[in-house]
């Protein structure tokens, strides 16, 4: 069974439906509904950052970690609890076009693309991987005269997360992907760059599940649109390096991210 380390799996997913009691169809569909938003939320967090890039040869690579906060009620005791669903990731972003020069401001219409690959840590011999991509359109380039303003469109995907072994009575296999769009504004102030954004995520999750003893073998699908807003800071204590901290609110739930990027 997948055991996503320290948090959601240990606290929520290894509950009565998969470990301690006879599984029921309602229990499995409740479980799938419970995991839907945290799973989509955590794989889509941590790619934002600052900096609508002003075109070639600007390039950044980095690494980071994110944690999605989940408030829930323990199925066995009814007690209110909090858990954190973690990921680790690497990112890259490449500027393709620096925009059009406009008198009095730094430029309009820059374009950059980005990519992310990450893992949801689990047991010592098992991990869940995910990937994401981004297109970032700069409306205003960050300069002395203007803040940086851009629109970021992202896509993230995680596949074949299996709960329950093939020999277990109950098993569920989940796939999820989401598309997001967010408007970001930033302002570089010496070695500190604050930024903020607001937008929407469209989450689509599908699963197959079975309960052998009950002769159940079905599919389950869920689509959900949630609001995302975020605030963050990037520090540049050394040339070419950026250390970032970020807070996201995704559909009312919280997510946190840390990142370290190298900029050329």
pLDDT digits (tens, 9 = 90+) for 76-112: 566 777 777 788 899 998 888 877 777 656 567 788 8
DSSP string, 50-119: S----STT-EEEEEEEEEEEEEEE-TTT--EEEEEEEEEEEEEEEEEE--EEETTEEEE-EEEEEEEEEE
8 A C-beta contact, residue 47 and residue 91: yes
Q: What CA–CA distance (Å, rounded) separates 148 from 143?
A: 7
3-state secondary structure (DSSP) of residue 14: coil
For 8-263, the fitting CATH number among 3.30.950.10, 3.50.50.60, 2.40.160.20, 2.60.220.30 is 2.40.160.20
Q: What CA–CA distance (Å, rounded) separates 146 from 52?
A: 13
What pLDDT, on the 0 to 100 scale, is given for residue 1?
36
- String of b and e for 32-50 (b: at least 16 CB within 10 Å)? bebbbbbbbbbbbbbbbbb
Q: What CA–CA distance (Å, rounded) separates 255 from 44?
A: 10
Write out residues in the chain with pLDDT < 70, as ranges. Answer: 1-21, 47-57, 72-78, 103-107, 122-127
Among candidates 229, 228, 238, 154, which has minimal Cα distance to 195?
A: 229
What pLDDT, on the 0 to 100 scale, is given for residue 10?
36
What pLDDT, on the 0 to 100 scale, is given for residue 16?
36
What pLDDT, on the 0 to 100 scale, is given for residue 86?
82
What pLDDT, on the 0 to 100 scale, is given for residue 76?
53
What pLDDT, on the 0 to 100 scale, is given for residue 218?
92
Q: What CA–CA distance (Å, rounded) separates 260 from 91?
A: 10
Q: Which helix (H) or strand (E) holds 38?
A: helix 25-43
């Amino acid at each position: 069974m997948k055991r996503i380390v320290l948090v959601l799996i240990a606290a929520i997913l290894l509950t009565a439906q998969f470990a301690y009691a006879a599984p029921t169809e309602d229990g499995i569909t409740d479980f799938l509904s419970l995991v839907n938003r945290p799973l989509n939320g955590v794989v889509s967090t941590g790619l934002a950052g600052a900096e609508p890039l002003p075109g070639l040869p600007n390039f950044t690579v980095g690494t980071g970690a994110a944690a999605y906060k989940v408030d829930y009620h323990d199925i066995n005791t009814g007690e209110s609890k909090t858990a954190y669903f973690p990921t680790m990731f690497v990112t890259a972003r490449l500027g393709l076009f620096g925009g059009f020069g406009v008198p009095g401001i730094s430029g309009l219409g820059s374009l950059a693309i980005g990519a992310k690959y990450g893992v949801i840590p689990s047991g010592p011999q098992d991990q869940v991987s995910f990937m994401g991509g981004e297109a970032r359109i700069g409306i205003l380039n960050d300069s002395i005269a203007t803040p940086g303003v851009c629109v970021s469109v992202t896509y993230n995907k995680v596949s074949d997360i299996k709960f329950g072994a093939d020999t277990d009575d109950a098993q569920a296999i989940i796939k999820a992907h989401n598309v997001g769009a967010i408007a970001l504004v930033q302002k570089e102030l010496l070695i500190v760059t604050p930024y903020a954004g607001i937008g929407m995520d469209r989450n689509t999750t599908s699963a197959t599940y079975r309960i052998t003893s009950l002769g159940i073998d079905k599919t389950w699908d869920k689509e959900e649109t949630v609001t995302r807003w975020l605030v963050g800071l990037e520090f540049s204590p050394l040339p070419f390096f950026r250390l970032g901290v970020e807070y996201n609110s995704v559909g009312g739930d919280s997510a946190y991210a840390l990142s370290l990027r190298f900029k050329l």
